[in-house]
Structure 1
Amino acid sequence: MTGESSRFDRRLIAPMFVGSVLNPINSSMLAVALIPIGAAFGVPPSQTAWLVTGLYIATAVGQPVMGRLVDLFGPRPLYLIATSLVGVAGLLGALAPNLGVLVGSRVLLGLGTSAAYPAAMSLIRSEADRTGMDTPAVILSSLSVANQVIAVIGPTLGGLLIGLGGWHLIFTINVPLSVICVVLGALWLPRRARSRGAEGLDYAGIALFTTTLVSLMLFLMQPRLSRWYVLVLALVLGVSFVITQLRVVAPFIDLRVLGGNRPLIFTYARQVLAYVGAYSFLYGFTQWLEEARGLSASSAGLLLLPLSLAAVLVTLLTGRRAAIRGKLVAGSICLVAAAAAQLFIGPSTSIWVLAVVGVIAGIPQGLNNLANQTALYQQADPARIGSSAGLLRTCVYVGALISAAANAHFFQHGATTTGLHDMAIFLLAVAALLVLVTFAKLPE
């Protein structure tokens, strides 16, 4: 195959990349906005943590739903509808009169940002089939770099926007981003819908998965013995979800396929653990910088630049290699080092030492994300690549939900140094488990 038909359609790159970074940019900007938002509404970090939780419950459910719809109907319609919701959510958040409405806008934002990534993975797979390419390591690494670059500018951009016009601007910026996505998608995404059959959505599975996550988070955000019944409810709903998924013909999450694909299960487990570490550091360390260390939102955003730059540099240096074994080993070990370093910082720690700690934490973010993304591409059923990619992102958001619960618990009385050190011990346990899972099943 020669000529244009053998080349990746580069017109797809812009809508794929811009759409896929909508969620990371909103996640990273929020890291520096939690303290100002809490001050504006008079609530502690244990309450503003629901801004993180609301987004990630929506995306944890939305990613596999959107992935299934992408598999059924093709990427174009889902991409256009979902990215339009991002603009609506941005306006709602900017005008929110209270924390409850603001959390609602984050839920809508989570749904709106759920289609772009599975759509991008579907487009990459269809282009690989059309051109006869092997695993497109360059495109995959570029997609990862795009997300890492947003992690670079997100906290800094958030801090600058807050300095210019308050926290409302981190929501308003979603309006022009939404317009850009819709225009690019309408111009360049393929119009022909792909249908994988007549199978529909598993509404019972979606409802059980959602209520399981919500009830579990309601307990984890305030874990007390007096609220034991909430945990029991979550367990009952979770068991019901598993039973339902094993019985229906077209389940929301195909647990039978997972049962026959052990390498993919390990990839999902690594992704959850890696992002518990990543988001616990991003939100916990940033809140501590502002409240206990006394930095402004803008200064905290700038101090996070070394972290994200380290992640980008690692991705750039290793992204062209499809092999993932070394990345997983190095990523898990570096997460242990980052957690351990956090135990030794305090209010008097110099800025340059804090920047070094950020660099250590940034390395595993670059390695783990790229390695697990490449592993999924190799391990997933090509016919369900959209659903599999959506589930990988769901694992990211499950990790973020666990980290939000940890933040709410350790910072329930404010982002103190004691709370930060307790968080570090929690992260050491998570990192140690990641090492065990990594060495238990190492992909090539």
Structure 2
Amino acid sequence: MTAGEGRFDRRLIAPMVVGSILNPINSSMLAVALIPIGVAFSVGPAQTAWLITGLYLATAVGQPVVGRLVDLFGPRPLYLIGTATVGVAGLLGALAPTLGVLVVSRVLLGFGTSAAYPASMSLIRSEADRTGLETPAGILTILSISNQVIAVIGPTLGGLLIGLGGWHLIFTINVPLSLACLVLGSLRLPKTPRTRLKLQLDYAGILLFAGSLVAIMLFLTEPRASHWYLPVLGIACGVAFVLVELRVVEPFINLRVLGGNRPLIATYARQVLAYVISYSFLYGFAQWLEEGHALSAATTGLLMLPLSAAAVLITALTGRNPRVRGKLVAGSILLLVAGALPLFIDGRTGLWFLVLIGVVAGIPQGLNGLANQNALYRQADPARIGSAAGLLRTCTYLGALIAAAANAHFFAGGATTPGLHELAWFLLIIASLLTAVTLADRSLV
């Protein structure tokens, strides 16, 4: 593969973009499929919430693990293995005879989609080193826009697919996407020098990290007194993880370096809080539109389009500006507004006001996603950009898991208007925390 000196190799953009959209497209299309799937298997929102939880548990664990593998073995092999897994998972989901099998397919999707984003960030970093471009803002913007576009048009695409052939099609679409990734990745991604394959993995650290995260997330999914052992197990694994990571020569996550990098820790905290709100809104508002406002899946998908347009437009307008503080402050304040607006709607609310809510929610989604990604690119250790990017996605899906737990709690009796109002108060609390964390971070520029 050849590329001009001082110029990013644009042959890499297509596999990076197609691979990185696999996770957001599978996350967002499901928003309008939960009700039809529940009807098909005769289950309620509390049960279908496991379709969200399964994907995000697998992704939250898989992203930093695969990211570390990318750091060690290079992006190409992990990209190809991950995207192939997505195709297998898509077929399994399309043919699933039970809800349990469908959940398994979502878990496989979570692991399969964990490779492309850290692989892309690794490729961007290596290209930046080769070309001398310290911050390739244009490439980072392309990656962010593609993810934003898919995340927010996913409900619309999902609604159209469900209207055409039922909910099975939102899983079938993974097959051609997987094949496209395999072809593009095989032809365009650079091969890894064999010298990198001599490095060893921190297996104990990976297992303890996964155990801690899964235990805590399972408790958040169903926070009951009878499940007291889950947070205890999570804390115990977390303490053991810290002890192990501080002693090994090549840790899975270098806690000494991370602990001294407060700006990066703040970026991870903002990512969690921002995506608690984004995913609570994405799934909660979409379910309410179908059940509380009695709209079809296709119509609900169309009503989520303004969110898409707002997110894409604001990302395109602000993407080439490398400064992040203004974006994050504006994004957190707008999330306060977006969290408050559902308090003023019910089953009789006009469509124009519902469209307005989507626009207001879409703008901060575009601002926060791009700004946190750019902040991480500057703050992370270049030698561990894959695992750092994986942890950023883990924070995204940690927020998504908290959102799924919140939706399951507030919609326990169905996606009703009172439940939506309770969810809105929860979002206002989270948005207030996000605003406080953002304003307090003086390292942002």
TM-score by length of 1: 0.97
After TM superposition, the structure 1 stretch with the greater mean CA deviation from structure 2, 391-400 or 233-242, is 233-242
2:388 alignment partner in structure 1 = 388
The 8 Å contact of residues 73 and 197 in structure 2, kept in 1 or not, is answered as no
Partners of 1:73 and 1:195 within 8 A in 2: no
Q: Is the 8 A contact 1:72 1:194 kept in 2?
A: no
Return the letter of the residue paired with 1:229: Y
Q: Secondary structure at the match of 1:4?
A: coil
Whole-Å separation in 1 of the counterparts to 2:260 and 2:123: 26
Cα distance in structure 2, aligned partners of 1:379 and 1:194? 28
Q: Letter of the aligned partner of 2:65 in structure 1? A: V
CA distance in 2, matches of 1:188, 1:226: 52
Question: Is 1:167 aligned with 2:143?
Answer: no
The within-5 A match list for 1:230-249 is: 230-249=230-249
Which residue of the partner structure matches residue 181 of structure 2? 181
**Matched-pair contact (CA < 8 Å) for 1:279–1:403:** yes
Residue 308 of structure 1: how far off its partner (Å): 1.4
Percent identity reads 73
* 1:82 maps onto 2:53 in alignment: no
Partner deviation per Cα, 1:124-156 (whole Å, 9 max, x = no partner): 111111111120111101110111111243111
Shift of the alpha carbon at 1:236? 2.3
1:201 and 2:201 matched: yes
Counterpart for residue 419 of structure 2? 419
1:26 aligns with 2:23: no
Contact 2:221 2:401 in 1 (8 A): no
Would you say 1:401 and 2:381 are equivalent positions? no
Distance in 1, matches of 2:65 and 2:230, equals 26
**Amino acid corresponding to residue 295 of structure 1 in structure 2:** L
Against the structure 1 CA distance between its residues 197 and 170, is the aligned structure 2 distance closer, same or farther, given a 3 Å change threshold? closer
1:97 maps to which residue?
Answer: 97
What is the identity, as a one-letter code, of the residue corresponding to 2:151? A
Q: 1:132-281 maps to which residues of 2 (within 5 A)?
A: 132-193=132-193, 195-196=195-196, 198-281=198-281
CA offset digits 1:50-80 (Å, max 9, x no partner) = 1111111111111111111111111111111
Aligned to 1:6: 6
Residue 343 (str. 1) matches residue 343 (str. 2): yes
Go from structure 1 to structure 2 and tell me whether the alpha carbon gap of 1:193 and 1:66 turns closer, same or farther (over 3 Å shift). farther
| Contact 2:53/2:221 (<8 A) preserved | no
Paired residue type of 1:375: A
Of 313-322 and 245-254, more deviation after overlay is shown by 245-254
Shift of 1:194: 6.8
Q: Give me the whole-angstrom Cα distance separating, in 1, the residues matched to 2:239 and 2:38.
A: 36
Deviates more, 1:198-207 or 1:256-265: 198-207
Q: 1:6 to 1:343 in 2, by over 3 A?
A: same
Distance 1:422 1:4, change over 3 A: same
- Structure 2 vs 1, CA of residues 195 and 370 (structure 1 numbering), >3 Å: closer, same or farther? farther
Deviation per residue, 1:17-54 (Å, 9 max, x gap)? 00000001111101111111111111111111111111
* 8 Å contact kept, 1:75–1:193: no
Which sits farther off after the overlay, 181-190 or 406-415?
A: 406-415
- The alignment of Structure 1 onto Structure 2 pairs a total of residues equal to 442
Give the drift of 1:435.
0.6
| Partner-residue secondary structure (3-state), 1:293 | coil
- In 1, the alpha carbon distance for the partners of 2:313 and 2:173 equals 27
Residue-by-residue CA offset, 1:359-385 (whole Å, 9 max, x unaligned) = 111111000011001101111111111
Aligned residues: CA RMSD: 1.4
Question: Structure 1 pair 128/411, CA: closer, same or farther in 2 (3 Å)?
Answer: same
Distance in 1, Cα, partners of 2:163 & 2:195:
48
2:412 corresponds to 1:436: no
Contact kept? 1:57, 1:210, Cα under 8 Å: no
Query: How far, CA to CA, are the matches of 2:58 and 2:426 in structure 1?
Result: 25
Q: For 2:375, what is the secondary structure of its paired residue?
A: helix
Q: Is residue 93–residue 105 contact of structure 1 (8 Å, CA) maintained in 2? A: yes
Q: Which runs of 5+ in 2 are unaligned?
A: none
1:214-256 Cα deviation digits (max 9, x unpaired)? 2223322222223323332233233333333233322222222
Cα distance 1:322–1:154, how it changes in 2: closer, same or farther (>3 A)?
A: same
The letter for the 1-side match of 2:201 is L
- Displacement of 1:324 in angstroms is 0.6
Structure 2 distance, partners of 1:181, 1:99, is: 28
| Residues 195/135 of structure 1: CA separation in 2 closer, same or farther (3 Å cut) | farther
CA distance in 2, matches of 1:318, 1:384: 27
Check whether the contact 2:160–2:298 (CA below 8 A) recurs between aligned residues.
Answer: yes
| Cα contact 1:72–1:197 (8 A) shared by 2 | yes
Aligned partner letter, 1:354? L
Deviation at 1:411?
1.1
Q: CA deviation at 1:197?
A: 7.2
Structure 2 CA distance, aligned partners of 1:43 and 1:244? 42
5+ residue gaps in structure 1? none
Equivalent position SS for 2:402:
helix
Q: State the Cα distance separating 1:338 from its structure 2 match.
A: 0.4
* Cα distance in 2 between the residues matched to 1:342 and 1:209: 37
TM-score when normalising by structure 2: 0.96
Aligned partner of residue 141 in structure 2, secondary structure: helix
| Structure 1 outlier segments of 4+, above 3 Å | 192-199
Matched, 1:355 2:355: yes
1:198 deviates by 4.0
Distance 1:264 1:104 in 2: 33
Q: In the alignment, what sits opposite 2:313?
A: 313
Q: In 2 relative to 1, CA 432–186 (structure 1 residues): closer, same or farther, beyond 3 Å?
A: same
Moved more, 228-237 or 286-295: 228-237
Q: Deviations over 1:255-304 (max 9, x none)?
A: 22111101111011101111111101001111111111111111110000
Q: Alpha carbons of 1:318 and 1:69: their partners in 2 closer, same or farther (altered >3 Å)? A: same
